């Protein structure tokens, strides 16, 4: 998939079917829009192009910003997996936000991408003050000579439309099972493994401490079953390691910093320090708790390992002897 960072990188003779959106999370609703654009582009013999923005408009317009579901690199990877030919990443700033719907369509869709068709969701808004609607796009399509395909919101069994907001709400509640259903895949958090306090190793649960600040939405505090995903050096494949994941401040030890720590079930031979890895959240086992004693905590952690193995279909495992851990 080609990635263009600005209109100056787009070929001058392009013809396309385009769609537009932030696509944060690339959830099931986004997938329907993107795959429709791919299908129609193939039918017309032109390129399928997704127009997206970086940074997120909310970061520009609201001081508090927004906690993104995934970084731009993951967004592009998920869009590419759907067969989209190219993505135009547009720098979002106040100058762009000031464009009228007419000027935006002419600049990006007509002059920039040579659109034969634009595919959008029914709730799309664009242009200054979000004044442009699907109806506006239809009117401009008639004027400039391109078709508009409107995708009616795809709804879940609950009757609620798939949305990035719903994903964030589910993650904030620790309901990664629901988040995964909205996304159509496991929720993934990326980060670099860094040194921690090594308490887990001393207790028999060595962990990879993930520096995930600023690269994704950290789910609610608790213990989860999931997977550590490692890129195999000089190979396109990934290694998927079943894991028990802890999110929180370690209240048993009066911790103050919120961390994400993953224990690979049954493995003492891993040295992940300094690696960029991903953690896939599969299911929540329990909320974060403070126990009356360390012994009670250890008993519960033993249960957590067995439950994580059960959820993941992995062999049951127990604690790791501290002296067996090879990572320094």
Please tell me which residue, 268 or 307, carries the higher pLDDT value: 307
Same domain, 98 and 203: no
Specify if 162 maps to a domain. no
Kindly write down the DSSP assignment for every residue of 227-271, as one continuous string: EEEEEPTTSS-EEEEEEEEEEE--GGGT--S-EEEEEETT-----
CATH assignment of the domain containing 188: 2.40.30.30
Q: Is the pLDDT of residue 55 over 80?
A: yes
- What is the pTM (predicted TM-score) of this model? 0.90
Specify if 164 maps to a domain. no
- Report how many domains make up the chain: 2
Same domain, 111 and 200: no
Same domain, 265 and 190: yes
CATH assignment of the domain containing 126: 3.40.50.620
Q: Which of 90-94, 147-151, 202-206 has the lowest mean pLDDT?
A: 202-206
Helix (H, G, I), strand (E, B) or coil at 193: strand
pLDDT in tens, 253-265: 555 678 899 999 9
Same domain, 130 and 201: no
Specify if 158 maps to a domain. no
Specify if 19 maps to a domain. yes
Same domain, 120 and 244: no
* Domain assignment of residue 7, given as a range: 1-149
pLDDT of residue 254: 57
How far apart CA 105 and CA 19 sit, in angstroms, is 12
């Amino acid at each position: 998939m080609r990635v263009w960072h600005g209109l100056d990188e787009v070929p001058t003779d392009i013809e396309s079917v385009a769609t537009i959106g932030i696509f944060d999370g690339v959830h099931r609703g986004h997938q329907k829009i993107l795959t429709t654009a791919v299908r129609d582009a193939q039918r017309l013999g032109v390129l399928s192009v997704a127009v997206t923005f970086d940074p997120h408009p909310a970061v520009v317009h609201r001081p508090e910003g927004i906690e993104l579901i995934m970084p731009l690199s993951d967004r592009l990877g998920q869009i590419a997996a759907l067969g989209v030919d190219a993505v135009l990443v547009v720098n979002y700033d106040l100058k762009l936000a000031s464009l009228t719907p007419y000027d935006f369509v002419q600049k990006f869709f007509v002059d920039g991408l040579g659109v034969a068709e634009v595919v959008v969701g029914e709730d799309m808004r664009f242009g200054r003050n979000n004044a442009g609607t699907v109806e506006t796009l239809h009117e401009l399509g008639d004027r400039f000579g391109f078709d508009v395909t409107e995708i009616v919101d795809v709804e879940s069994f609950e009757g609620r439309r798939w949305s990035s907001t719903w994903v964030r709400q589910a993650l904030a509640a620790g309901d990664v099972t629901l988040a995964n259903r909205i996304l159509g895949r496991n929720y993934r958090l990326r980060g670099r493994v860094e040194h921690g306090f090594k308490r887990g190793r001393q207790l028999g649960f060595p962990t990879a401490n993930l520096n995930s600040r600023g690269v994704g939405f950290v789910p609610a505090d608790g213990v989860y079953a999931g997977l550590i995903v490692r890129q195999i050096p000089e190979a396109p494949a990934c290694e998927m390691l079943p894991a028990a994941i802890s999110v929180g401040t370690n209240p048993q030890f009066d911790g103050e910093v919120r961390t994400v720590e993953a224990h690979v079930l049954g493995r003492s031979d891993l040295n992940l320090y300094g690696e960029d890895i991903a953690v896939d959240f599969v299911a929540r086992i329990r909320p974060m708790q403070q126990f009356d004693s360390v012994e009670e905590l250890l008993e519960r952690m033993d249960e957590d390992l067995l439950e994580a193995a059960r959820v993941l279909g992995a062999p049951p495992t127990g604690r790791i002897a501290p002296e067996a851990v090879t990572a320094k």
